[in-house]
């Protein structure tokens, strides 16, 4: 199969998985899996920053619509991550530190946008830490299933 088509299918499946995990599986109030950093990190490094942000916005909106929650939360977090991409790097760099940082930025943005100042700070801090831990673990597992970039 054409590597480009294979990549598109793979990352679309990640978006679909994210929508299912977010909107249709109950992990309790403290756990939120964020798989979209994998997709944002895989956007070609040659893309200009604004085009990466536009693509990230589209990916976020698609996930929000499929998950059935509040529209815009994933989109805002995705755009933020795409904007910080030059600083955090992408999956090509394959550095554990970058993956950890990318998932932490995304989880923090998502939890804070979702709570929208209505939830207690301590609750949000606990949720960020727990969600980041499970997201980081899931990202490491999924990185072994990613198709080759070559």
Which residues of the chain form contacts with other proteins (CB under 8 A)?
23-24, 26-29, 31-32, 48-50, 53-54, 57, 60, 65-66, 68-73, 75-76, 79-80, 83, 113-116, 118-120, 123
> Could you tell me which residues come within 8 angstroms of residue 83 by beta carbon, excluding any fewer than 6 positions away?
49, 53
69 versus 147: smaller Cβ distance to other proteins: 69
Q: Which of 99, 117, 89, 122 is nearest to 34 (CA)?
A: 99
**CB-wise, 26 or 150, nearer to other proteins?**
26
Q: How far is the CB of 148 from other proteins (least distance, A)?
A: 30
CB nearer to other proteins: pick between 42 and 78:
78
Name the minimum Å distance from CB 27 to other proteins.
Answer: 7
Minimum CB distance to other proteins smaller for 100 or for 113 = 113
CB of 113 to other proteins, least distance (A): 6
Is 76 exposed, middle or buried (CB count within 10 Å of its CB: 0-12, 13-18, 19+)?
Answer: middle
What gap in Å lies between CA 86 and CA 136, rounded to an integer?
20
Do 90 and 41 form a contact (C-beta atoms < 8 A)? yes
On whether the CB atoms of residues 15 and 56 are closer than 8 A, the answer is no
Report in angstroms how near the CB of residue 150 gets to other proteins at its nearest: 28
């Amino acid at each position: 199969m054409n590597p480009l088509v294979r990549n598109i299918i793979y990352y679309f499946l990640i978006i679909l998985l994210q929508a299912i995990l977010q909107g249709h599986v109950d992990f309790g109030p403290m756990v939120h899996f964020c798989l979209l950093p994998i997709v944002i990190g895989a956007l070609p490094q040659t893309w200009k920053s604004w085009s990466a942000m536009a693509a990230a916005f589209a990916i976020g909106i698609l996930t929000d619509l499929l998950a059935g929650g509040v529209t815009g939360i994933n989109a805002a977090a995705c755009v933020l991550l795409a904007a910080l991409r030059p600083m955090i790097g992408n999956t090509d760099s394959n550095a554990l530190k970058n993956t950890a940082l990318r998932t932490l930025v995304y989880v923090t943005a998502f939890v804070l946008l979702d709570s929208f100042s209505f939830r207690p700070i301590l609750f949000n801090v606990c949720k960020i830490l727990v969600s980041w831990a499970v997201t980081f673990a899931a990202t490491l597992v999924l990185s072994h299933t990613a198709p080759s970039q070559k």
